[in-house]
Structure 1
Amino acid sequence: MTPGILVLDNGSDNIIWSTNTSRPAQGPVLVAQLLDSGNLVVRDTLTDDGNFLWQSFDYPSDTLLPGMKLGKDFETGLEILRIIVNLEDIHKMAQLSSIELDHAWNGVRFSGVPNLSPNSIFRYRLVFNDKEVYYSYDLINSSVISRLMLSQNGVLQRWTWPVGRSQGWVLYLTTPTDNCDTYSLCGAYGTCLNKFAPKDSNAWANTDWSNGCVRKTPLDCYNNRSDGFLMYSHVKLPDTRNSWFNVSMTLE
């Protein structure tokens, strides 16, 4: 076994689980340590600069703890883009569900998550530079413990535990907040805006909005000078996974 690999076996030399590392250990003595942050790390005794051989924070399950990153390291290629929840059996990989940060970052928060705002409990941020891009959060108030968890039904939940003032976890916020946040539930645009109508009015009346909306009048940009753009506020940006952006633009 390569030095620096943490292994869990069944007592009969059959490996059930093991860590991996992309670099060799520097010291003769290796340590597996559970940090106060909840991060289980494998490190050598000669280095204590946070450059671990392996850390559990790189492999989240259903929970994002303070200090964990959700994103991608461009230098190492490590991608932590999903929080994964096992619905039934941890060994049945086909039965995993996941949530990704599909909401667009608008400079203040992820669009579509209005209850994510500056508060006195935790501080969140999106970091984007030449080396990495990630979302993370840190606790501001040391008297409150907080964690972000993805439930088995796909609801992202923020839980808090006020130290000394509570006997359990308290639900702080959730997303999605209602059915309108369900991706593509009402077609590509989410609702029928001005100048649009349901594509299938009968299905729409029976609460089936999946066919979405169509224009009441087809566009005629060349012959009809009345065609133009309408401004809407308080709406979510569309799916931006395949879009481009200008890094020099600011909110100003």
Structure 2
Amino acid sequence: MLRTFTSLAAQFPPPQAARADGLLCMGGDLRPERLLAAYSRGIFPWYEQGLPILWWSPDPRCVLPLDGFRLPRRSARALRRHPFELTLDAAFNEVIRACAAPRSTGPGTWLSPEMIAAYEKLHVLGFAHSVEAWQDGRLAGGLYGVALGRAFFGESMFHVRAEASRAALAGLVALLRLRGALLLDCQQETPHIMRMGGLLLPRAVFLAQLAHALEPARAFAGRDPHGSDAAAFPWRPWETAYVYSVSKGSWTARS
């Protein structure tokens, strides 16, 4: 019998016990229910190949307020001249592998094959999602993350054409607004995010906002990610499909 979601969440130390650098604990596994239990407590995995799984809860926490998002003027002009076609969950596997690929400024990212496989499982279950930016029929950039309740936890983004990742982020923000989301977690501060309205929150404030974003979803009585009736899982995956109109610059639900 699978351990319940609640018991998995309780296995993590309180986020307030994290070290100054944000490291909270190590070990465990990357099963879908454990990953989602971690996210529900404001904890995420981040480690390099060959190390134990490391779990983090940084203080302060970088978020992108949905009502404070702004594109740099130069980016906005570029996207008006050469808009990208945006899609949702059309190429999740390609996006996460592109995020893991070596960068021009250094080696590959922290995304090991085990991490990729874990998030691909979450995607199949409806909890991990990608936004893709296309140009001339080719994948030009994108991002992926995890959705729980009215919170979205951004994980990574990439681009092979200028402004493609910003286009994907703008599309994600528009989609989250449409869905009534309350929180877009960016985990770590980066110049890229801060230039677009990123905000650093004390951990206690972030956790309070996260609790608020997750609380309405508790009304849903669901099954756990593996389909076991023995495990209580409180959040449903996204069940609505969306399409993006470049001309209108907005998403609409697709029946």
TM-score clears 0.5? no
The answer to which structure has the higher helix fraction is: 2
The answer to which structure has the higher strand fraction is: 1
Which entry has the higher C-alpha Rg, 1 or 2? 1
| TM-score normalized by the length of structure 2 | 0.24
| TM-score normalized by the length of structure 1 | 0.24
Q: Which has the higher contact order (CA 8 A, sep 6+)?
A: 2
